[in-house]
Amino acid sequence: MPDTKHFIVRTPLFPLYSEVRLLVQILDGISKDAVWGMIKALFDQAGTPQSNVDWSQPNEWIEQRLQGANRELAKKIWADSAGTVNPRHIYGSYLFINTFALLVPDAQGIYKRSLDGAAFLDDKAPVLRKLDEEEGLPQLLSILAAHSPAKRGDLLDEWSEFLLENSNYGTVSTFKDTLRRRLLNLVERGYVAREGNTYTITDKGIRYAAPVGPEEVQRPHLAVLGAIKNYNDAQTKELRERLEKMNPYRFEMLIKDLLEAMDYEDVVVTKQSGDKGVDVVASFQFGITQIKEVVQVKRHKGNITRPVLDQLRGALPYHGAIRGTIITTGGFAQGCKDAALFPGAAPITLIDGDKVIELLLKHGVAVKKKPQTLIEIDESYFASDDPETQIQEEQ
């Protein structure tokens, strides 16, 4: 019996929908062969690792590198998108548009907007949902809901498992790239919030992660995801409050545990005197070089100012260290931030309260992660017909 499994997450170089919308409008009425010809002409000039090509300035390279119809089409894309769509990087959108037939070539090979293409431009929910499900976005939101806030690495194992089961992807590099691109798409659309390298599912994302179907099916799924997010948010808030109330020396010991979880070695809390001077000394293996680092720990709500940084920087030679870190439950004044990476001076890393919480959650210090399993019906199993069963029923 042939394998009839329907694979999803099919678009490599998965694009932002804002770019797709612009290209559906710009390429409507353009020959599909002309679009492919331009993409191919640019790909052939991609360069090598030894001789990179700078594609960041289309106003310059379009004239220098393209001729004739390819040049005119690239100029049209750049101009009609108001300088937001770089013609060099439209291949992902091109694949997406063709895969889901948002533009369809007519008998002469000219792109014409399809009904789905028009619905996509109008933000019609049924079409958007269909596309998103084909690309695994609701499933990714469900994974994020159980880990939020999270970095990409925290999601990679479950996302990889999902891809192995439901797609043709099978390498770590493709797992990582498909995850990164889809998170960016979800951030742009407000389903996920991003701060630095940390991703948090929004209330809008929680609602969208629920399966499409009867309300009695959606409601329990939505309630579970919402409950997980609310519980994690409450626990994160409680963690922050507890850190702010900790005994200063106990907080220094917490930072010691965190640094050891981050693979620092020979971590020593220097004293029990509170917040002055160097509080923690540690070593870190960087390649074949071991680097000594000194850490000052500040447990309070206010902003750390530059004199604290200058004091730590001045203590580096005494401890034989070449860099330092200030860790606080509060924040940093702008003058402190400016001085942290002052040219010619020893670098000082600044870790504020939000970053402390992020690191504690990532490395499992002062928190315990309790994985939960959701059981869902495999609709594809029941949707696929067994010919032998059909024959028996017909007989």
Size of the chain, expressed as the number of residues it contains: 395
What token pair was written down for 30? 């353009």
Nearest to 166 by CA among 7, 48, 25, 32: 7
Q: What angle do CA 253, 254, 255 make, to 5 degrees?
A: 90
Question: pLDDT band at residue 264, thresholds of 50, 70 and 90?
Answer: very high
Same domain, 327 and 353: yes
What was the pLDDT predicted at 159? 95
Pairwise CA distance, residues 17 & 11, whole Å: 13
pLDDT in tens, 13-25: 999 999 999 999 9
Pairwise CA distance, residues 225 & 210, whole Å: 8
Q: Per the domain annotation, does 198 fall within a domain?
A: yes
Same domain, 357 and 316: yes
Burial class (CB in 10 A: 0-12, 13-18, 19+), 18: middle
pLDDT in tens, 38-53: 999 999 887 655 567 8
Nearest to 10 by CA among 172, 178, 151, 128: 178
Same domain, 35 and 119: yes
Same domain, 263 and 338: yes
| Amino acid at the residue 342 | F
Residue 2 has pLDDT above 70, yes or no: no
Pairwise CA distance, residues 28 & 35, whole Å: 11
Same domain, 110 and 44: yes
Same domain, 82 and 107: yes
Q: Per the domain annotation, does 313 fall within a domain?
A: yes
List the domain range (segments joined by +) for residue 195.
136-240
Give the bridge partners for 290, in sequence order: 285
What token pair was written down for 107? 């008998």
- Report how many domains make up the chain: 3
For position 333, which CATH number holds? 3.40.1350.10
Contacts of 10 (CB under 8 A, 6+ apart): 99, 134, 135, 167, 168
pLDDT in tens, 332-345: 999 999 999 889 89
The pTM of this model reads 0.68
Same domain, 342 and 256: yes
Helix (H/G/I), strand (E/B), else coil: 165: helix
What was the pLDDT predicted at 15? 97
